[in-house]
């Protein structure tokens, strides 16, 4: 379709528009792609999605996936239960762009700053059921005031602190919970409670993870009970993180689960024990550009700009550097990691003390690097090139958006 | 100007185009801006540029700034000596986009992968003097073969390893240098030698930095001498990193200096001792969204998506977390850092053991966070909002591009 656009109003400058038109390639196979670039194995992604759906089905909850990981309409449509949602977002830009694509049931899961409420109202006026989260009376009063002024009751969930890792009200802080709840209902809509077991990323082993999941559930349900006992509504009880979503055995009292990174998984999730390395659906394709043979180094054109600087596995038992290295079809090399990275240079080495051998890679050969953190690596790219399994055929290119 | 664009060919999806048009604001002051966002103080930037120009003027070299830090035409035009360059780039996309904006004298400073030569030829056909770098006979042979096949002699510089930190040929490896040089001149153009003292980032103190600068100079000049003694041309002797560019006292034999991050500076550079914190020209504007008062935490809406995950100062004497915190006019708070960050959440704390007091910040208040690494933080944003000094007036918005 043809669109007339004022270049000055573009999200990108004119010079980029010209570049994209010129560079549009008929890339059909992995070898045709410019590097570095992001590869998404849709088969692995589909399996990851089915696995969580099947796991949650008997637990009596709905899935509200976090779209901050993928920031893509195509991925969102595969992971959401319907084209309209439910969905979780981390920025209002995500909310707007997904709403533009038809998503209607959205929770904006970052504590609401009052100046952002005008944009929330804009979206609600367009028919989007956008809910906000908050953990202070002050925010609740702002939400209620805006609701009264506009005649539109904004739904708000109270964020609960289940493990001390970030935001939220303590689940046993009855006075504060009730005060916030009452402030919300003075004009706005109290939609429920929401919590996130971010501490689960540091858990190791199924027992510890199940404990995190139960703490997460218990905190949300305890807070809901306090609110209901005070005569306040609390229809939604929302919990979730990828680790707890994959280990919770009893979700009594919970109405929905949120999780994001499971669509792709990554080395941090593998290190926690939530997935296998073979489940990881995204990788960065890179080209060999040099060697330092005396040192056992292979230089590639994937640096931190392509991988991000996430070193999440450095805090785990197995430190994967900036990522583990596979051949271009995605087959893992044994103990070969992207050990160092500057902006556009990456240095591949044998994992220290592994006794492994550096693969024979020539200048121009390609590798794929599995990331520490899918949310972070994905954010460095503007699109996914879609493959299935070991095939080198590019089935399509899905756009990713960024920014705020 | 109006452009007709096929949305499918856009660098961004249709939903983003609609979003930008809808969101175009008449932001006139800092308080009008959505957060998080990137602020560039053009006064500080101008001073940083003037300072290096004046420092290099008596040293008999030209400046070839590295545009990978800013990735902006407006910044490039201020830092380059002329509108046509010279310039250094880290990706062919940078080369194309800056060429689209009139830059003609460019070195693509990442070891050349042979499949990229077609794009180099494309640019050279458009009149851009784009040179490549390499450190193997194999690459040299590929460059020479492409040159012969197309009838266009591609200029190549031999990358020299001055400090063992990354790529390049050792400066005393006479056989290899001459072999590469001869392979280049068999059809292509041997433009010179290039080196980068990446190890200087770990140096501490003026004496150590001057030693890095002299090692860098000496390595490049020694390699140039070997080539010339073998009857090969070596007109360009290119050295540079921001630390060595700011401490070199004698650049005899060098023809040009490359440096990038100095346009903005950052906490890593301040930690090395190359600049003051007050010289840092970019910052991330963020909004307070919550507190955990018992823990002494202030939550803001700038997480690692806005800052990057660069923890460069964690390897220095003063660990600045994810950045140091200022008020919205850019005045530094005493010992207040962004200590933790998730994707969109940041946690501000008092620097451990500093005895400082957390500032009184309410929900909705704004802060500015100075980054560890300007190249990394800048890369997370699509534009700079321009201010001057302590003024809150937004003078303009300069686009930044990304990708490959």
Q: What is the 3-state secondary structure (H, E, C) of A332-388?
A: EEEEEEEEEECCCCEEEEECCCCCCCCCCCCCCCEEEEECCCHHHHHCCCCEEEEEC
Q: Which of B2, B3, B268, B348 to probe the A interface (max A CBs under 10 A)?
A: B3
Distances (CA, A) of A30 to A43, A53, A394, B256: 16, 31, 6, 38
Separation of alpha carbons A372 and A386, rounded Å: 20
**H or E segment and range at residue B169:** none
Work out the average pLDDT over A382-391. Answer: 95
* Facing B376 at nearest CB: one of A4, A93, A309: A309
Distances (CA, A) of A277 to A267, A270, A273, A297: 7, 6, 10, 24
CB atoms A381 and B375 under 8 Å = no
Each residue's pLDDT tens digit, A18-57: 565 555 555 689 999 999 999 999 999 999 999 999 999 9
- List, in order, residues 6 or more apart from B8 with CB less than 8 Å away: A1
Q: Give the 3-state secondary structure of residue A273.
A: coil
In this predicted structure, what is the pLDDT of residue A4? 43
Residue A99 has pLDDT above 60, yes or no: yes
Q: Are A297 and A344 in contact (CB under 8 A)?
A: no
CB atoms A15 and B93 under 8 Å = no
Separation of alpha carbons A323 and A380, rounded Å: 15
Residue A6 has pLDDT above 50, yes or no: no
Mean pLDDT taken over chain A? 94
In this predicted structure, what is the pLDDT of residue B233? 98
Distances (CA, A) of A253 to A190, A193, B223, B303: 17, 11, 72, 31
**Interface subset of A 95-124, CB within 8 angstroms of B:** 96-97, 100-101, 110-115
* Beta-bridge mates of residue B108: B89, B132
Judging contacts by C-beta atoms under 8 Å, the chain B residues touching residue A14 are 1, 3
Q: What are phi and psi of B102, to 5 degrees?
A: 105, 0
Neighbouring CB atoms inside 10 A of A261's CB total 25
Q: Which of B198, B342, B374, B398 to probe the A interface (max A CBs under 10 A)?
A: B342
* Facing A13 at nearest CB: one of B36, B344, B399: B399
How many degrees, rounded to 5, is the angle at CA B311 between CA B305 and CA B312? Answer: 130
Residue A274 has pLDDT above 50, yes or no: yes
Q: What is the pLDDT along chain B (404 residues), one digit of tens a residue?
A: 344 444 444 444 556 655 655 555 556 899 999 999 999 999 999 999 999 999 999 999 999 999 999 999 999 999 999 999 999 999 999 999 999 999 999 999 999 999 999 999 999 999 999 999 999 999 999 999 999 999 999 999 999 999 999 999 999 999 999 999 999 999 999 999 999 999 999 998 999 999 999 999 999 999 999 999 999 999 999 999 999 999 999 999 999 999 999 999 999 999 999 999 999 999 999 999 999 999 999 999 999 999 999 999 999 999 999 999 999 999 999 999 999 999 999 999 999 999 999 999 999 999 999 999 999 999 999 999 999 999 999 999 999 999 99
- The sign of the CA dihedral B290, B291, B292, B298 is positive
Residue ranges in B246-309 assigned as alpha helix (H): 267-272, 304-307
* Facing A11 at nearest CB: one of B7, B12, B90: B12
Residue A208: CA atoms inside 13 Å, Cβ hemisphere, count? 12
Q: Give the 3-state secondary structure of residue A322.
A: coil
Judging contacts by C-beta atoms under 8 Å, the chain B residues touching residue A34 are 92, 404
Q: Is A308 on the interface with B (CB under 8 A)?
A: yes
Separation of alpha carbons A254 and A236, rounded Å: 8
Q: Is B24 on the interface with A (CB under 8 A)?
A: yes
* Beta-bridge mates of residue A327: A367
- List, in order, residues 6 or more apart from B108 with CB less than 8 Å away: B89, B90, B91, B92, B95, B120, B130, B131, B132, B133
Report the gap between the CA of B1 and the closest CA in chain A (Å): 5
In this predicted structure, what is the pLDDT of residue A5? 44
Separation of alpha carbons B83 and A204, rounded Å: 56
Q: Give the 3-state secondary structure of residue A146.
A: helix
Q: What are phi and psi of A157, to 5 degrees?
A: -110, 145
- List, in order, residues 6 or more apart from B251 with CB less than 8 Å away: B59, B60, B61, B217, B239, B257
Each residue's pLDDT tens digit, A343-386: 999 999 999 999 999 999 999 999 999 999 999 999 999 999 99
- List, in order, residues 6 or more apart from B354 with CB less than 8 Å away: B334, B335
How many degrees, rounded to 5, is the angle at CA A261 between CA A340 and CA B364? Answer: 95
Of the candidates B393, B269, B261, B377, the residue with the CA atom closest to the CA atom of residue B328: B393
Q: What is the largest CA-CA distance in chain B?
A: 73
Q: Are B358 and B350 in contact (CB under 8 A)?
A: yes
> Can you tell me the ipTM of this complex?
0.93
Distances (CA, A) of A72 to A80, A273, A402, B16: 12, 26, 10, 11
Q: Are A91 and A283 in contact (CB under 8 A)?
A: no
Distances (CA, A) of A79 to A46, A60, A256: 8, 18, 15
Sheet with A62-63, side-by-side order of all strands:
A62-63, A256-257, A236-239, A189-195, A155-160, A129-134, A105-108, A87-89
Kindly provide the b/e burial profile for residues A125-162, where b requires at least 16 CB atoms within 10 angstroms of the residue's own CB: eeebbbbbbbbbebbbbbbbbbbeebeebbbbbbbbbb
Euclidean distance between the first and the last CA atom of chain B, given in angstroms as a whole number? 26
CB atoms A17 and B3 under 8 Å = yes
Which residue from A minimizes the CA distance to B340?
Answer: A166
Share of chain A above pLDDT 70, in %: 93
Neighbouring CB atoms inside 10 A of B15's CB total 18
* Beta-bridge mates of residue A285: A37, A368
Work out the average pLDDT over A253-259. Answer: 98
**Interface subset of B 310-329, CB within 8 angstroms of A:** 310-311
Report the gap between the CA of B396 and the closest CA in chain A (Å): 12
Q: Is B293 on the interface with A (CB under 8 A)?
A: no
Residue B251: CA atoms inside 13 Å, Cβ hemisphere, count? 23
Judging contacts by C-beta atoms under 8 Å, the chain B residues touching residue A9 are 20-21, 24
Separation of alpha carbons B40 and B25, rounded Å: 18
- The sign of the CA dihedral A354, A360, A364, A367 is negative
Q: Are B319 and B383 in contact (CB under 8 A)?
A: no
Q: What share of chain B is helix, strand, coil (3-state, %, to 5)?
A: 35, 25, 40
């Amino acid at each position: 379709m043809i669109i007339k656009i004022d270049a000055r109003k573009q999200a990108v400058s004119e010079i980029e528009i010209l570049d994209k038109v010129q560079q549009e390639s008929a890339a059909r196979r992995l070898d045709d792609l410019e590097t570095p670039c992001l590869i998404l194995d849709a088969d692995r992604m589909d399996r990851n999605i089915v696995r969580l759906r099947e796991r949650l089905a008997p637990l009596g909850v709905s899935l509200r996936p976090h779209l901050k990981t993928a920031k893509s309409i195509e991925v969102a449509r595969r992971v959401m239960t319907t084209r309209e949602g439910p969905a979780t977002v981390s920025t209002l830009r995500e909310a707007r762009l997904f709403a533009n694509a038809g998503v209607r049931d959205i929770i904006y899961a970052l504590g609401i700053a009052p100046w952002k409420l005008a944009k929330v109202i804009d979206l609600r006026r367009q028919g989007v059921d956008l809910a906000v989260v908050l953990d202070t009376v002050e925010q609740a009063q702002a939400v209620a005031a805006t609701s009264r002024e506009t005649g539109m009751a904004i739904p708000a969930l109270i964020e609960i602190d289940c493990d001390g890792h970030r935001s939220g009200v303590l689940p046993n802080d009855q006075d504060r919970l009730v005060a916030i709840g009452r402030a919300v209902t003075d004009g706005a809509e109290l939609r429920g409670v929401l919590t996130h077991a971010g501490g689960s990323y540091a858990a190791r082993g199924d027992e510890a993870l199940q404990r995190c999941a139960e703490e997460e559930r218990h905190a949300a349900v305890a807070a809901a009970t306090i609110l209901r006992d005070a005569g306040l509504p609390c229809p939604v009880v929302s919990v979730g993180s990828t680790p707890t979503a994959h280990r919770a055995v009893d979700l009594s009292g919970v109405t929905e689960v949120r999780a994001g990174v499971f669509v792709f998984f990554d080395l941090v999730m593998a290190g926690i024990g939530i997935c296998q390395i073979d489940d990881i659906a995204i990788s960065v394709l890179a080209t060999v550009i040099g060697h330092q043979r005396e040192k056992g180094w292979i230089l590639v054109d994937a640096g931190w700009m392509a991988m991000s600087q996430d070193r999440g596995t450095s805090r785990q038992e197995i430190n994967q550097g900036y990522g583990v290295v596979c051949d271009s079809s995605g087959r893992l090399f044994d103990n070969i990691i992207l050990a160092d990275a500057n902006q556009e240079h990456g240095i591949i080495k044998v994992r220290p003390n592994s006794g492994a051998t550096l693969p024979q890679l020539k200048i121009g050969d390609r590798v794929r690097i599995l990331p520490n953190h899918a949310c972070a690596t994905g954010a460095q790219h503007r699109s996914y090139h879609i493959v299935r399994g070991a095939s080198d055929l590019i089935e399509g290119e899905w756009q990713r958006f960024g920014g705020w």
